[in-house]
Amino acid sequence: MNRILLVEDDQGLCELLGQLLELEGFELTICQDGPSGLTAAQSGQHDLVLLDVMLPGLNGFDLLRQLRQKSEVPVLMLTARGDDIDRVVGLEIGADDYLPKPFNDRELIARIRAILRRTKDKESGSAGQDELVSGDITLYPRRQEAWVGDTLLPLTATEFTLLHELVQTPGELASKEQLSETVLGKKLMPFDRSLDMHLSNLRRKLPERVDGRPRVKTVRGKGYIWLD
């Protein structure tokens, strides 16, 4: 049973989501303010965090910033509909995905399951080979780990999946449409910058090559190419 932490101060929404998630077979913990939510999220006892932006005591952005200093637990942010800046900021500081309110119950469950699938491939053969090498980078798909030399990269599950997809086809264009479906588990929609933000975060975490060449080439409007 997957354990989900819901950090949300709306009592009515907490009750509705509690019923929905328990019916879907999830074990749920609820916190209704930022400080208690941060403590619970850092406990290591949950498989995913559903995080609201507007919280008393500590807002969702600050909570996520502090959480990412110690934990890579997957985070799905709940944002206000139409507030694009919330989504961009959330992705920049390490959210795995976002969902604008009000949302469809089925879409929420689908997003949760897509994120959990990306983080649960460690023990299954679906993650591919045991080791994948590209220059100075070594990926261990079953452990969801990426190393540069002797340094373990602090990647979220989404960032690792994106890197894994790119490294598998060096020199070839990986379209945004393809990556959105395989990495994020959703179709690419107009003006959706989720994939761009995850790629930006990944670039920041990848050290520069000794020869100064970029690791990822952006083909504007089409996708990305991994430069081996």
Instruction: Read off the pLDDT of residues 179-208 as tens digits, 9 standing for 90 and up.
Output: 998 888 888 888 788 899 999 999 999 998
What pLDDT is recorded for position 32? 97
What pLDDT is recorded for position 125? 44
The secondary structure of residue 122, as a DSSP letter, is G
* Residue whose entry in the numeric block shows the structure tokens 């930022």: 34
What pLDDT is recorded for position 121? 56
Mean pLDDT, residues 156-161 = 88
What pLDDT is recorded for position 81? 59
Count CA atoms closer than 13 A to 55's CA, side-chain side.
27
**What is the distance between the alpha carbons of residues 57 and 23, in angstroms, rounded to a whole number?**
30
Helix H, strand E, coil C: the string for 144-206 is CEEEECCEECCCCHHHHHHHHHHHCCCCCEEEHHHHHHHHHCCCCCCCCCHHHHHHHHHHHHC
All residues at 6 or more sequence positions from 142 whose CB lies less than 8 Å from its CB, including other chains: 121, 122, 123, 124, 127, 130
**What is the distance between the alpha carbons of residues 154 and 178, in angstroms, rounded to a whole number?**
25
Query: Does the structure show a pLDDT above 60 at 215?
Result: yes
Complete edge-to-edge strand list for the sheet that includes strand 223-226: 173-175, 223-226, 216-219
What pLDDT is recorded for position 77? 93
Band the pLDDT of 83: cuts 50, 70, 90. low
What pLDDT is recorded for position 35? 97
Contact 55, 77 (CB under 8 A): no
11-69 per-position pLDDT tens digit: 999 999 999 999 999 999 999 999 999 999 999 999 999 999 999 999 999 999 999 99
What pLDDT is recorded for position 123? 42
Contact 170, 220 (CB under 8 A): no
Phi, psi of 45 (to 5 degrees): -100, 5
Band the pLDDT of 122: cuts 50, 70, 90. very low
Sign of the CA dihedral running 27, 114, 101, 39 = positive
Query: Does the structure show a pLDDT above 90 at 127?
Result: no
What pLDDT is recorded for position 87? 77
Return the minimum-mean-pLDDT range out of 6-15, 34-43, 73-82, 108-117: 73-82
Q: pLDDT over 90 for what percent of the chain?
A: 59
Question: In terms of Cα–Cα distance, which of 70, 69, 71, 90 is closest to 79?
Answer: 90
For the chain, give every domain's residue range: 3-119, 124-226
Whether domain 3-119 has CATH 3.40.50.300: no
**What is the distance between the alpha carbons of residues 53 and 157, in angstroms, rounded to a whole number?**
21
Whether domain 124-226 has CATH 1.10.1040.10: no
What pLDDT is recorded for position 203? 94
